[in-house]
Structure 1
Amino acid sequence: MGMVTVLSLTTGAWLLAGGAAGHPPPQPSPEQASPAPRTGDGADAPPLPPSPPTRIRIPSIDVDAPLTGVGLSRNGSLDVPPPQEKNLAGWYAAGTSPGERGTAVVAGHVDNAEGPAVFYALGALRRGRTVEIERRDGSVAVFAVDAVRMYPARDFPDEKVYGPADRAELRVITCGGPFSPRTGYEGNVVVFAHLIKRPTVHRPSSRPAHTPH
């Protein structure tokens, strides 16, 4: 995908109002920021055909949310779902779909004025945990987390986060870093993950499909 910059994934209005006694969301530790060694033992799964994603699950941090397609804003930044949709995440629909060869991107809010949002706990995710993406073709793409990092907004590494990959990779992004009452969060938490096994066909969810407003 072309190089873009992440939009602010909310500014911490909830923290400004004293939410959770003013405590910010968890941030990744230096241990989680170190990339997991890439092995040549066949652990990487073959890339999948294109198919739009419909839902993201991260069991270890209790994420289970619908996905909607997002594009770019007028200034070329990655757009995000409306902040009032706190349990909705977005995927970059003009780029790679999760499971395809290349780098797929999912982004969501860390909080909104009412409290924690879909990726509030993203900074607590650990290497080796899994991210599951339900796809419209009935498959589930399973990714293993390689690293979880926090980047200052002023030094966001577009090429490292959004650049091409020779296998099926995933980035999950939200706000993070220090919090300023004047400007909000000063960085972004980024999860790096790769496809680890072939998906299995599952029965359609009994949950009603999300309809973006």
Structure 2
Amino acid sequence: MRRQRALVRLAVGVVCALALTSCSSGSSGSSGSTASTASTDTRTTTPAGKPADGKPAGGKKPASAADPVRVSIPAIGVDSALMPLGLNADRTVEVPPPDKGMTAGWYTGGAIPGQKGAAVVIGHNETRNGPGVFWNLKKLTKGSKITIRDERGGTRVFTVTGTETVKKNAFPTQRVYGPTNGPELRLVTCDGAYDDQGHTVDNLIVYAKP
């Protein structure tokens, strides 16, 4: 009986650990079987940062604005629907669920693409099933084009102005989610080396303007 209780406690611990993984490798050999099977999850410490005080960065939605529904990045072969993303209970920004690894998401607390403010699009670079929608995001260079289509069929084209790789524990919240002088776009994914638990330690951020 004691052995059974111990096994149950161990199983619960493993499940809890997997529930907190982020942008984990589906093929990395860095940390044994747990790392090789863990997937990107919707809950993690800083998958895409934590807006200051959890407050929306985009302000009130203009009556004429339409929500984005699709993102296209020809330079890296991305053409994905956009799912809405909000905040987790700990006030970090949600990421698409593990079974939506090839679908990007738009943070609804930020600006609508094309409206004044920082619009943020988030996608996985890898899941347990292989590459995610932003697997090749690091290949984007200054001048690359990103097209966002809205629910009314309108499009907004953004031009990449730069990229940045940062440590997840030093995420540049203000640069990504803070106020801007005009419409801007950020794309965010996981990047970098894997830690001992099979989680990537960095975020890759792409900055773009109309």
When the two structures are superposed, what TM-score results if normalisation uses the length of structure 2?
A: 0.72
Further displaced range: 179-188 or 130-139: 179-188
TM-superposed CA distance for 1:106, in Å, is 0.5
CA-based RMSD of the aligned residues comes to 2.4
Aligned equivalents of 1:116, 1:16: Cα separation in 2 = 16
Partner of 1:124: 139
Contact (CA 8 Å) 1:70, 1:90: kept in 2 or not? yes
1:168 aligned to which of 165, 177, 183: 183
Change (3 A) 1:64 1:8: farther
Displacement of 1:155 in angstroms is 1.2
CA distance in 1, matches of 2:205, 2:190: 9
Amino acid at match of 1:138: G
Write the distance in 2 (CA, Å) between the matches of 1:8 and 1:97. 29
- TM-superposed CA distance for 1:158, in Å, is 0.5
Map Cα deviations across residues 5-46 of structure 1 (whole Å, 9 max, x no partner).
xx975212343499xxx9xxxxxxxxxxxxxxxxxxxxxxxx
C-alpha distance in 1 between matches for 2:148 and 2:111: 13
Q: Which runs of 4+ in 1 moved over 6 A?
A: none
Mapping for residues 27-176 of structure 1, pairs under 5 Å: 49-176=64-191
Q: Name the residue aligned to 1:3.
A: none
- Partners of 1:151 and 1:177 within 8 A in 2: no
Residue pair 1:177, 1:187 contacting (<8 A) in 2 also? yes
Q: Distance in 2 between matches of 1:8 and 1:102?
A: 30
1: CA distance, partners of 2:209 / 2:110: 16
Q: Which amino acid aligns with 1:15?
A: S
> What is the alpha-carbon distance in structure 1 between the residues aligned to residue 194 and residue 115 of structure 2?
35
Contact 2:110 2:177 in 1 (8 A): no
**Does the CA contact (< 8 Å) of 1:90 and 1:107 recur in 2?**
yes
- In structure 1, the gaps of 5 or more residues are 1-6, 23-48, 196-213
TM superposition shift of 1:161: 1.2
8 Å contact from structure 1 (residues 9, 174) kept in 2: no
Aligned residues: 162
Percent sequence identity over aligned pairs = 35
Partner letter of residue 200 of structure 2?
A: Y
Partner of 2:49: none
Query: Structure 2 stretches of 5 or more lacking a match?
Result: 1-19, 37-63
State the Cα distance separating 1:181 from its structure 2 match.
4.1
Structure-2 separation of matches of 1:86 and 1:155: 24
**Preserved CA contact (<8 Å) 2:22 2:199:** no
